[in-house]
Amino acid sequence: MKRANKLYWILPLLLVSFLSSCKKDTDFIYGVTDVNVQKPDANKPNVKTTFTFISIAYSDLFGANISQTQLVEIQTAYVAFGDQRLIEQMIIKNFLNDGGADIPTQTEMSANVQQFIKDSYVKFFNRLPNEFELWHIENEVAGDNTITPELVYFAMMTSNEYRYY
């Protein structure tokens, strides 16, 4: 009789234990967005080919695809000199001097320097600037009214990061 009473207690405990062990883990959400932390230059291990560099530079500045004739002309000049960085600078200078290049005005840049920097980073580096980059370049641009959008574009398009994808 005593043994039967003990079983009445044990059975419900086993049942509760079994049910709780099959319960799924609860995902707690604390309202914080997951962020992958990596250096800003991560995931750009490849150097652009001459063809890619010219095509991308053209479309970045003119918002259109470069014509085949122009591509061949520029590519020929590009490979005809051994210091490609020097030739890239010359190519970009020619693009910047073309009236068809889509470059913000000084007024547009000054109206919202942060936005200009963000837009430029996305346009040329395919990413947003990190907080330090944003702060530093904003300081440079806002603190010196002789820095024009052309100068910022020229710096970005002749930087190391622009040569990689």
Partner 1 sequence: MQRRGFIKKAALATAGAFAAPYILPSGRLFAATGSRIANHVVMCLFAGGVRNFESMQKAEGNLMPFSLTGNESINPQIIGGMDALPTPTGQRLQQQGTLFKEFRFNLGPTGHFSGHSTALTGQYNLADINIKQRPAYPTLFEYYRKHNSPSMSALNAWWVANALGPYPALNFSQYPGYGAEFGANFIQPGSIISVPGYNALGDPKSFSTTELDKVKNLRQFMDNNFSSNYTPGDAGITNNEADALQIENYINNAFDEAVAGQYDDPWGVGNSMNGDMYNVFFAEQIIKEFKPELTVVNMQDIDVCHANFTGYCNNIRKADYALWHLWQTIQATPGMANDTILIAVPEHGRNETPNTIVDAYGKYALDHTSDEVSRQIFCLVVGPPDKVVQNRVVSTVTGESIDTVPTIAKILGFQNDIPGGMLSGTSLDQAFV
Residues that bind partner 1 (CB under 8 A): 39-42, 44-45, 47, 70, 72-74, 76-91, 93-94, 96-98, 133, 136-137, 140, 144, 146-148, 150-152, 154-156, 158-161, 163-164
- In terms of CB distance, is 142 or 147 closer to partner 1? 147
- In terms of CB distance, is 56 or 155 closer to partner 1? 155
- In terms of CB distance, is 15 or 65 closer to partner 1? 65
Minimum Å gap between C-beta 16 and partner 1 is 55
- In terms of CB distance, is 114 or 148 closer to partner 1? 148
Query: In this structure, are residues 163 and 124 in contact, taking their beta carbons and an 8 Å threshold?
Result: no
Minimum Å gap between C-beta 42 and partner 1 is 7
Minimum Å gap between C-beta 122 and partner 1 is 14
Minimum Å gap between C-beta 151 and partner 1 is 5
Q: 3-state DSSP call for residue 82?
A: coil
Minimum Å gap between C-beta 19 and partner 1 is 52
Residues facing 164 on adjacent strands? 47
Integer angstrom CA distances of residue 42 from 53, 127, 153: 19, 11, 21
Query: In this structure, are residues 153 and 120 in contact, taking their beta carbons and an 8 Å threshold?
Result: yes
Separation between Cα atoms, residue 74 and residue 83, nearest integer Å: 15
Tokens of 50: 């001459």
- In terms of CB distance, is 16 or 41 closer to partner 1? 41
Long-range contacts at 6-9 (CB < 8 A, ≥ 24 apart)? none
Nearest to 62 by CA among 97, 107, 30: 97
